Structure 1
Amino acid sequence: MEGASVVEFSWEVRSPLEHALVSGAHGAQGDAGVSLREIRNFDLVQVMARRGKAAELAKDAKAHFGVAAPNSPTVVQASDATLIWSGPDQFFVLSKGGKHTTQTLAPALSGPASLSDQSHARVLISISGNKARTMLAKLSSIDLHPTAFPVGAAAATSMDHTSVTLWRGAERADGQAVFNVLVFATFAESLWHAMLDSAAEYGVAIAHSEELAQRL
């Protein structure tokens, strides 16, 4: 039609938090008690055992990753991937650089398991700082005390009425606890604002990163 405009489409992958995440300081001034960091451009595959194939999946996963996949609410660190419990007979494979995708995992695991690419369906947020646990207590009913939720513990739970996968990662160099959250992309912005509101009184350092920590 004469005079009609043509809409340009872009297929570039963008973070669901692209507009909501503003790097820098937020909330109370001074030293930030909470650090919120979105991790971008990762590979995430959900591995779910087929009916009656859990034992076979466990055997094949150990052969492939060199470690036993988690069969309880924990996280297991392989040489180039983090295996995160996500429910009975299922786990996530979190990695970087295309080493563990549905295509690369299929030859080893597609017999006993269904593989689902979740790389663009989830947002990964890392939370740390001396007030991180206090802030999270406002949003979740999980007991995050170190004796109840040590390094490597995981949970499929909810935060601010939003389903998440939560786990405690390796501590920072300064000894502060680190908590990691996977949330569905469609709910990420809402949860992000809830985190900012909950952490504002402690001061928040906001950032995003393209790098996965060596031990999440």
Structure 2
Amino acid sequence: MVDYLWNTQSPLQKALVPGRHGAAGAHAGVTLNEVRDIVLVQVMARRGKAAETAKAAKKLFGIEAPATPKAVTGKTATLIWSGPDQFTVIAPRTDEASQLAAMVQVFAGSASLSDQSDGRCLIRVSGPRGRDAIAKFSSLDLHDLAFPVGAAANTSVDHTAVNLWRDANGADGHPVYNMLVFTSFADSLWHTIVDSSLEYGVEAASARAA
């Protein structure tokens, strides 16, 4: 009898080639990371239960759930607006079963949950030329005044749906952008970002959620 083993692997297993690519120089203009080991849950308030859902989120995560296009970060999770009365929870994977159980318990009766942990891929773009690279394939205005830290948007990249939000600036003082995409399109988006970054020099790697 054949023994089938199912091993979880990154959707960028083949596309992500760690190291420096493109233009040479002392420092890469773009840093590109796949963020792994995350728990990702879509929370959708039931009809007439938006206030209860927001209260439950505050109880569990200690932060107000976003009611407008933005991302808010607490001690244990980041909540990203994904539509009217709904948001996405992203947290570092510690004990996934207990993390999901806690959400099921606190949102019982007020919201519907959809575990997307293995259905989405999180890609992070940073560095002094990160914004310039993204501008090549995105129509969003990422100027500091139009898209400050905490801003979020549902957008499209090459006909692919992407949730994009801005994190706090990196240690180097430059903007940090996150892109959440369905795993089946992650390979295509990754190549698009790499190709757009080559003229600036790009450093590619995977990173654990923190």
Asked if these proteins are the same fold (TM beyond 0.5), I'd say yes
Q: 1:12 aligns with which of 7, 14, 22?
A: 7
1:45 is paired with a residue of what secondary structure? strand
Post-superposition offset of 1:12 = 1.2
Q: 2:142 aligns with which of 141, 144, 149?
A: 144
| Alignment of 1:179 onto 2:177 | yes
Q: 1:196 aligns with which of 191, 194, 197?
A: 194
Asked if the contact 1:27–1:200 (Cα under 8 Å) also holds between the matched residues in 2, the reply is yes
Cα distance in 2, alignment partners of residues 110 and 189 from structure 1: 35
Q: Give 5+ residue unaligned stretches, structure 1.
A: 1-5
5 Å-filtered alignment, 1:1-216, equals 9-30=4-25, 31-96=27-92, 97-98=94-95, 101-212=99-210
Count of aligned pairs between the two proteins = 207
Deviations 1:161-182 (A, max 9, x none): 2101100001111101100111
Amino acid corresponding to residue 12 of structure 2 in structure 1: L
TM-score of the two chains, using structure 2 as the length reference: 0.94
Cα distance in 2, alignment partners of residues 210 and 115 from structure 1: 24
1:180 is paired with a residue of what secondary structure? strand
Cα distance in 1, alignment partners of residues 83 and 165 from structure 2: 13
Deviations 1:74-103 (A, max 9, x none): 111121111111111111111121367432
Post-superposition offset of 1:160 = 2.3
Asked if the contact 1:102–1:116 (Cα under 8 Å) also holds between the matched residues in 2, the reply is no
Asked if the contact 2:17–2:205 (Cα under 8 Å) also holds between the matched residues in 1, the reply is yes
Cα distance in 2, alignment partners of residues 101 and 19 from structure 1: 30
Which of 1 and 2 has greater Rg? 1
Cα distance in 2, alignment partners of residues 20 and 79 from structure 1: 32
Cα distance in 1, alignment partners of residues 148 and 9 from structure 2: 33
Amino acid corresponding to residue 193 of structure 1 in structure 2: H
Structure 1 residues 56 and 172: CA distance shift in structure 2, 3 A: same
Post-superposition offset of 1:8 = 5.2
User: What root-mean-square deviation, in Å, do the aligned CA atoms of Structure 1 and Structure 2 show?
Assistant: 1.4
**Structure 1 vs Structure 2: percent identity of aligned residues?**
55
Q: Give 5+ residue unaligned stretches, structure 2.
A: none
Post-superposition offset of 1:211 = 3.1
